[in-house]
Amino acid sequence: MIKNCKQVLRYMFGRGAFARLPELLAPRREGGAWTAFFVDHWFRGQPLAAQLPLQKGDEVVFVDTTHEPKTSDIDQHCGKLRALGRGLPGAVCGIGGGATLDTAKAVSNLLTNPGKAEDYQGWDLVKVAGIYKIGVPTLSGTGAETSRTCVMTNTRTGVKLGMNSDFTIYDQLLLDPDLTASVPRNQYFYTGMDTYIHCIESLNGRYRNAIGDAFSRQALQLCDEVFMSDDMMSPENREKLMIASYLGGCAIANSFVGLVHPLSAGLSVVLGTHHCVGNCIALTALEEFYPEEVKRFWRMVEKQKVQIPLGACRDLAAERYAALFDASIQHEKPLENALGPDFRAVLTRGKAESLFRRM
Protein backbone atom coordinates (compact mmCIF):
# COMPACT_ATOMS: atom_id res chain seq x y z
CA MET A 1 0.00 0.00 0.00
CA ILE A 2 1.33 3.42 -0.99
CA LYS A 3 0.40 6.22 1.42
CA ASN A 4 0.43 9.94 0.74
CA CYS A 5 2.05 11.04 4.01
CA LYS A 6 1.95 14.43 5.62
CA GLN A 7 4.34 15.39 8.41
CA VAL A 8 4.99 18.39 10.66
CA LEU A 9 6.00 21.38 8.52
CA ARG A 10 8.38 23.07 10.96
CA TYR A 11 10.21 22.18 14.16
CA MET A 12 12.69 23.81 16.49
CA PHE A 13 14.98 21.53 18.53
CA GLY A 14 17.50 22.12 21.28
CA ARG A 15 18.03 22.65 24.98
CA GLY A 16 16.55 25.97 26.06
CA ALA A 17 14.34 26.19 22.96
CA PHE A 18 11.26 26.86 25.11
CA ALA A 19 12.43 30.46 25.43
CA ARG A 20 11.73 30.88 21.70
CA LEU A 21 7.99 30.24 22.08
CA PRO A 22 7.08 33.98 22.01
CA GLU A 23 8.60 34.45 18.56
CA LEU A 24 6.78 31.37 17.24
CA LEU A 25 3.47 32.77 18.51
CA ALA A 26 4.07 36.33 17.32
CA PRO A 27 2.70 35.90 13.76
CA ARG A 28 -0.47 34.36 15.23
CA ARG A 29 -1.09 37.32 17.54
CA GLU A 30 -1.42 39.91 14.79
CA GLY A 31 -4.54 42.00 15.03
CA GLY A 32 -4.89 41.24 18.73
CA ALA A 33 -5.58 37.52 18.29
CA TRP A 34 -5.39 35.46 21.45
CA THR A 35 -3.80 32.08 22.21
CA ALA A 36 -5.28 29.05 23.98
CA PHE A 37 -2.64 27.20 26.00
CA PHE A 38 -3.34 23.61 27.00
CA VAL A 39 -0.86 22.64 29.73
CA ASP A 40 -0.47 19.35 31.62
CA HIS A 41 -1.80 19.87 35.16
CA TRP A 42 1.53 18.48 36.42
CA PHE A 43 2.93 21.98 35.80
CA ARG A 44 0.31 23.93 37.76
CA GLY A 45 2.28 26.07 40.21
CA GLN A 46 5.58 24.94 38.68
CA PRO A 47 8.22 27.19 37.06
CA LEU A 48 7.19 26.24 33.53
CA ALA A 49 3.70 27.64 34.07
CA ALA A 50 5.21 30.94 35.16
CA GLN A 51 7.26 31.04 31.94
CA LEU A 52 4.25 30.95 29.60
CA PRO A 53 4.40 33.97 27.25
CA LEU A 54 0.93 35.22 28.18
CA GLN A 55 -0.66 38.31 26.72
CA LYS A 56 -3.99 40.00 27.34
CA GLY A 57 -6.87 37.78 26.34
CA ASP A 58 -4.91 34.50 26.37
CA GLU A 59 -6.50 31.49 28.02
CA VAL A 60 -4.65 28.79 29.98
CA VAL A 61 -6.31 25.40 30.42
CA PHE A 62 -4.60 22.95 32.77
CA VAL A 63 -5.44 19.51 31.38
CA ASP A 64 -6.16 16.90 34.04
CA THR A 65 -4.13 13.93 32.82
CA THR A 66 -5.15 11.66 35.70
CA HIS A 67 -7.26 9.95 33.06
CA GLU A 68 -6.70 9.82 29.33
CA PRO A 69 -8.66 12.21 27.06
CA LYS A 70 -12.37 11.54 26.61
CA THR A 71 -14.53 12.84 23.81
CA SER A 72 -16.64 14.60 26.43
CA ASP A 73 -13.52 16.41 27.70
CA ILE A 74 -12.86 17.81 24.22
CA ASP A 75 -16.47 18.94 23.88
CA GLN A 76 -16.27 20.72 27.25
CA HIS A 77 -12.99 22.46 26.43
CA CYS A 78 -14.39 23.75 23.14
CA GLY A 79 -17.61 24.86 24.80
CA LYS A 80 -15.71 26.89 27.40
CA LEU A 81 -13.50 28.57 24.79
CA ARG A 82 -16.50 29.49 22.65
CA ALA A 83 -18.33 30.81 25.71
CA LEU A 84 -15.57 33.39 26.23
CA GLY A 85 -17.09 35.30 23.33
CA ARG A 86 -13.74 36.29 21.82
CA GLY A 87 -14.05 34.43 18.55
CA LEU A 88 -11.57 31.79 17.54
CA PRO A 89 -8.00 31.90 18.92
CA GLY A 90 -5.13 32.67 16.58
CA ALA A 91 -3.25 29.65 17.89
CA VAL A 92 -3.64 26.62 20.11
CA CYS A 93 -0.51 25.58 22.03
CA GLY A 94 -0.23 22.14 23.65
CA ILE A 95 2.41 21.75 26.37
CA GLY A 96 2.73 18.36 28.04
CA GLY A 97 2.77 14.64 27.40
CA GLY A 98 0.74 12.69 24.88
CA ALA A 99 -2.63 13.24 26.58
CA THR A 100 -2.17 17.01 26.62
CA LEU A 101 -0.78 17.16 23.09
CA ASP A 102 -3.72 15.08 21.85
CA THR A 103 -6.19 17.29 23.70
CA ALA A 104 -4.79 20.42 22.05
CA LYS A 105 -4.93 18.80 18.61
CA ALA A 106 -8.52 17.66 19.09
CA VAL A 107 -9.67 21.06 20.35
CA SER A 108 -7.98 22.77 17.40
CA ASN A 109 -9.92 20.57 14.98
CA LEU A 110 -13.26 20.75 16.74
CA LEU A 111 -13.23 24.56 16.99
CA THR A 112 -13.51 24.79 13.21
CA ASN A 113 -15.71 21.76 12.53
CA PRO A 114 -19.34 21.25 13.58
CA GLY A 115 -20.65 18.64 15.96
CA LYS A 116 -19.00 16.71 18.76
CA ALA A 117 -15.60 15.08 19.15
CA GLU A 118 -17.10 11.60 18.85
CA ASP A 119 -18.26 12.48 15.32
CA TYR A 120 -14.63 12.53 14.21
CA GLN A 121 -13.35 9.31 15.75
CA GLY A 122 -12.12 7.46 12.72
CA TRP A 123 -10.17 8.06 9.52
CA ASP A 124 -10.23 11.32 7.58
CA LEU A 125 -13.54 12.57 8.93
CA VAL A 126 -12.28 16.09 9.67
CA LYS A 127 -13.08 18.26 6.64
CA VAL A 128 -11.92 21.76 7.67
CA ALA A 129 -8.43 22.73 8.83
CA GLY A 130 -8.19 23.42 12.54
CA ILE A 131 -6.67 26.36 14.38
CA TYR A 132 -2.90 26.81 13.90
CA LYS A 133 -1.28 24.67 16.57
CA ILE A 134 2.11 24.47 18.24
CA GLY A 135 3.18 21.34 20.12
CA VAL A 136 5.64 21.43 23.02
CA PRO A 137 6.26 17.90 24.38
CA THR A 138 7.39 17.56 27.99
CA LEU A 139 7.56 13.76 27.75
CA SER A 140 9.30 11.72 25.06
CA GLY A 141 7.90 8.60 23.49
CA THR A 142 4.27 8.85 22.46
CA GLY A 143 5.03 10.48 19.11
CA ALA A 144 1.89 12.59 19.63
CA GLU A 145 3.95 15.56 18.53
CA THR A 146 4.28 14.14 15.01
CA SER A 147 1.28 11.85 14.53
CA ARG A 148 -1.88 12.53 12.54
CA THR A 149 -4.13 11.27 15.32
CA CYS A 150 -5.35 12.37 18.71
CA VAL A 151 -6.68 9.44 20.70
CA MET A 152 -9.87 9.80 22.73
CA THR A 153 -12.13 7.42 24.65
CA ASN A 154 -15.87 7.63 24.16
CA THR A 155 -17.23 6.40 27.50
CA ARG A 156 -20.73 6.15 26.03
CA THR A 157 -19.77 3.66 23.32
CA GLY A 158 -16.64 2.19 24.92
CA VAL A 159 -14.58 3.10 21.86
CA LYS A 160 -11.01 4.35 22.20
CA LEU A 161 -10.09 5.70 18.79
CA GLY A 162 -8.22 8.57 17.25
CA MET A 163 -9.28 11.60 15.28
CA ASN A 164 -7.07 10.46 12.38
CA SER A 165 -6.59 13.25 9.87
CA ASP A 166 -3.92 15.25 8.09
CA PHE A 167 -5.54 18.27 9.76
CA THR A 168 -4.57 16.83 13.17
CA ILE A 169 -0.83 17.23 12.59
CA TYR A 170 0.89 20.05 14.44
CA ASP A 171 1.90 23.03 12.32
CA GLN A 172 4.96 23.79 14.48
CA LEU A 173 6.91 21.85 17.11
CA LEU A 174 9.15 23.19 19.82
CA LEU A 175 11.36 20.34 21.06
CA ASP A 176 13.29 21.20 24.24
CA PRO A 177 14.89 18.23 26.06
CA ASP A 178 15.24 20.35 29.21
CA LEU A 179 11.46 20.05 29.66
CA THR A 180 11.75 16.30 30.34
CA ALA A 181 14.16 16.63 33.27
CA SER A 182 11.39 16.49 35.91
CA VAL A 183 9.64 13.37 34.60
CA PRO A 184 9.33 10.57 37.22
CA ARG A 185 11.71 7.74 36.40
CA ASN A 186 9.16 4.97 35.80
CA GLN A 187 7.00 7.27 33.66
CA TYR A 188 10.04 8.27 31.62
CA PHE A 189 10.66 4.59 30.85
CA TYR A 190 7.02 3.69 30.10
CA THR A 191 6.61 6.64 27.75
CA GLY A 192 9.93 5.99 26.03
CA MET A 193 8.82 2.41 25.42
CA ASP A 194 5.92 3.74 23.36
CA THR A 195 8.48 4.74 20.73
CA TYR A 196 10.15 1.33 20.94
CA ILE A 197 6.78 -0.38 20.52
CA HIS A 198 5.68 1.87 17.65
CA CYS A 199 8.78 0.87 15.73
CA ILE A 200 8.76 -2.87 16.38
CA GLU A 201 5.10 -2.99 15.37
CA SER A 202 5.84 -1.08 12.20
CA LEU A 203 8.81 -3.26 11.25
CA ASN A 204 6.84 -6.46 11.89
CA GLY A 205 3.74 -5.31 10.05
CA ARG A 206 2.43 -5.87 6.54
CA TYR A 207 2.16 -2.21 5.57
CA ARG A 208 5.80 -1.22 5.34
CA ASN A 209 7.90 0.98 3.13
CA ALA A 210 11.56 1.96 3.04
CA ILE A 211 10.97 5.41 4.56
CA GLY A 212 8.98 4.08 7.50
CA ASP A 213 11.55 1.34 8.05
CA ALA A 214 14.37 3.90 8.10
CA PHE A 215 12.58 6.04 10.69
CA SER A 216 11.87 2.92 12.79
CA ARG A 217 15.41 1.55 12.69
CA GLN A 218 16.99 4.86 13.65
CA ALA A 219 14.51 5.34 16.51
CA LEU A 220 15.21 1.81 17.78
CA GLN A 221 18.94 2.46 17.70
CA LEU A 222 18.43 5.54 19.85
CA CYS A 223 16.17 3.61 22.23
CA ASP A 224 18.90 0.99 22.65
CA GLU A 225 21.47 3.68 23.39
CA VAL A 226 19.20 5.31 25.97
CA PHE A 227 17.76 2.30 27.78
CA MET A 228 20.89 0.17 27.80
CA SER A 229 22.96 3.02 29.24
CA ASP A 230 23.79 3.53 32.90
CA ASP A 231 21.82 6.77 33.12
CA MET A 232 18.79 6.83 30.85
CA MET A 233 17.87 10.34 32.04
CA SER A 234 21.18 12.09 31.44
CA PRO A 235 20.93 15.32 29.39
CA GLU A 236 22.40 13.54 26.39
CA ASN A 237 19.95 10.65 26.65
CA ARG A 238 16.98 12.97 27.09
CA GLU A 239 18.00 14.59 23.81
CA LYS A 240 18.26 11.19 22.13
CA LEU A 241 14.88 10.04 23.41
CA MET A 242 13.17 13.22 22.25
CA ILE A 243 14.60 12.61 18.76
CA ALA A 244 13.56 8.94 18.92
CA SER A 245 10.01 9.97 19.84
CA TYR A 246 9.86 12.32 16.85
CA LEU A 247 11.20 9.64 14.49
CA GLY A 248 8.89 6.99 15.95
CA GLY A 249 5.91 9.22 15.23
CA CYS A 250 7.16 9.69 11.67
CA ALA A 251 7.51 5.92 11.33
CA ILE A 252 3.87 5.38 12.24
CA ALA A 253 2.84 8.14 9.83
CA ASN A 254 4.27 5.88 7.12
CA SER A 255 2.81 2.66 8.48
CA PHE A 256 0.50 1.45 11.26
CA VAL A 257 0.92 0.12 14.76
CA GLY A 258 0.36 -3.58 15.38
CA LEU A 259 -0.99 -5.96 18.00
CA VAL A 260 0.27 -4.20 21.13
CA HIS A 261 -1.76 -1.04 20.72
CA PRO A 262 -5.22 -2.65 20.29
CA LEU A 263 -4.71 -4.78 23.40
CA SER A 264 -3.42 -1.75 25.29
CA ALA A 265 -6.53 0.13 24.20
CA GLY A 266 -8.60 -2.67 25.73
CA LEU A 267 -6.74 -2.25 29.02
CA SER A 268 -7.38 1.49 28.89
CA VAL A 269 -11.11 1.28 28.17
CA VAL A 270 -11.92 -1.53 30.61
CA LEU A 271 -9.37 -1.10 33.41
CA GLY A 272 -8.43 2.57 33.04
CA THR A 273 -4.76 1.76 32.40
CA HIS A 274 -2.76 4.66 30.99
CA HIS A 275 -1.58 4.19 27.43
CA CYS A 276 2.19 3.87 27.80
CA VAL A 277 2.25 1.56 30.80
CA GLY A 278 -0.58 -0.37 29.12
CA ASN A 279 1.64 -0.89 26.09
CA CYS A 280 4.40 -2.25 28.32
CA ILE A 281 1.96 -4.61 30.04
CA ALA A 282 0.51 -5.83 26.74
CA LEU A 283 3.95 -6.42 25.22
CA THR A 284 4.90 -8.82 28.03
CA ALA A 285 2.23 -11.26 26.79
CA LEU A 286 3.20 -11.15 23.12
CA GLU A 287 6.49 -13.04 22.85
CA GLU A 288 4.71 -15.41 20.47
CA PHE A 289 4.33 -12.53 18.00
CA TYR A 290 7.40 -10.39 18.82
CA PRO A 291 9.92 -12.89 20.27
CA GLU A 292 13.21 -11.00 19.98
CA GLU A 293 11.60 -7.66 20.69
CA VAL A 294 10.05 -8.88 23.95
CA LYS A 295 13.40 -10.29 25.09
CA ARG A 296 15.08 -6.97 24.32
CA PHE A 297 12.34 -5.15 26.24
CA TRP A 298 13.00 -7.26 29.35
CA ARG A 299 16.73 -6.56 29.08
CA MET A 300 15.95 -2.83 29.14
CA VAL A 301 13.62 -3.27 32.11
CA GLU A 302 16.32 -5.14 34.01
CA LYS A 303 19.01 -2.61 33.10
CA GLN A 304 16.94 0.35 34.28
CA LYS A 305 15.41 -1.47 37.28
CA VAL A 306 11.88 -0.24 36.59
CA GLN A 307 8.69 -1.97 37.64
CA ILE A 308 6.13 -3.28 35.12
CA PRO A 309 2.81 -3.69 37.01
CA LEU A 310 1.51 -7.14 36.09
CA GLY A 311 -1.32 -9.33 37.35
CA ALA A 312 -4.35 -7.08 36.90
CA CYS A 313 -5.87 -9.35 34.21
CA ARG A 314 -5.21 -12.80 35.65
CA ASP A 315 -8.44 -13.53 37.50
CA LEU A 316 -11.15 -11.36 36.02
CA ALA A 317 -14.81 -12.23 35.61
CA ALA A 318 -15.85 -13.62 32.23
CA GLU A 319 -17.67 -10.42 31.29
CA ARG A 320 -14.51 -8.40 31.88
CA TYR A 321 -12.54 -10.57 29.46
CA ALA A 322 -15.37 -10.14 26.96
CA ALA A 323 -15.21 -6.36 27.39
CA LEU A 324 -11.42 -6.39 26.90
CA PHE A 325 -11.86 -8.30 23.65
CA ASP A 326 -14.64 -6.02 22.41
CA ALA A 327 -12.54 -2.91 23.10
CA SER A 328 -9.51 -4.39 21.32
CA ILE A 329 -11.01 -5.99 18.22
CA GLN A 330 -12.38 -2.65 16.96
CA HIS A 331 -8.88 -1.54 15.91
CA GLU A 332 -9.03 -3.11 12.49
CA LYS A 333 -6.18 -1.34 10.69
CA PRO A 334 -3.51 -2.16 13.33
CA LEU A 335 -4.77 -5.73 13.68
CA GLU A 336 -4.74 -6.25 9.93
CA ASN A 337 -1.24 -4.80 9.82
CA ALA A 338 -0.10 -7.27 12.47
CA LEU A 339 -2.12 -10.39 11.68
CA GLY A 340 -3.39 -10.02 8.11
CA PRO A 341 -6.89 -9.57 6.67
CA ASP A 342 -8.16 -12.63 8.55
CA PHE A 343 -7.09 -11.20 11.91
CA ARG A 344 -10.40 -12.20 13.50
CA ALA A 345 -9.57 -15.85 12.86
CA VAL A 346 -6.29 -15.37 14.76
CA LEU A 347 -7.40 -13.06 17.56
CA THR A 348 -10.48 -14.96 18.64
CA ARG A 349 -12.21 -14.32 21.96
CA GLY A 350 -10.47 -17.34 23.43
CA LYS A 351 -7.07 -16.28 22.14
CA ALA A 352 -7.52 -12.73 23.42
CA GLU A 353 -8.52 -14.00 26.86
CA SER A 354 -5.43 -16.21 27.04
CA LEU A 355 -3.25 -13.20 26.18
CA PHE A 356 -4.93 -10.94 28.73
CA ARG A 357 -4.54 -13.58 31.43
CA ARG A 358 -0.76 -13.37 30.98
CA MET A 359 -0.73 -9.62 31.65
Q: Output the CA angle 150-241-336, nearest 5 degrees.
A: 45
pLDDT tens track for 46-77: 999 999 999 999 999 999 999 999 999 999 99
- Assigned fold of 10-180: Rossmann fold (3.40.50)
Report pTM.
0.96
In the chain, where are the structural domains located? 10-180, 185-357
pLDDT at 131: 98
pLDDT at 259: 98
Q: Name which CATH class applies to 185-357.
A: mainly alpha
Looking at the predicted structure, is the pLDDT value of residue 1 above 80?
no
Mean pLDDT of 73-82: 98
pLDDT tens track for 118-154: 999 999 999 999 999 999 999 999 999 999 999 999 9
Looking at the chain, the whole-number percentage of residues with pLDDT higher than 90 is 97
Looking at the predicted structure, is the pLDDT value of residue 308 above 70?
yes
pLDDT band at 40 (very low <50, low <70, confident <90, very high): very high
pLDDT at 187: 97
Across the chain, what does the average pLDDT equal? Answer: 97
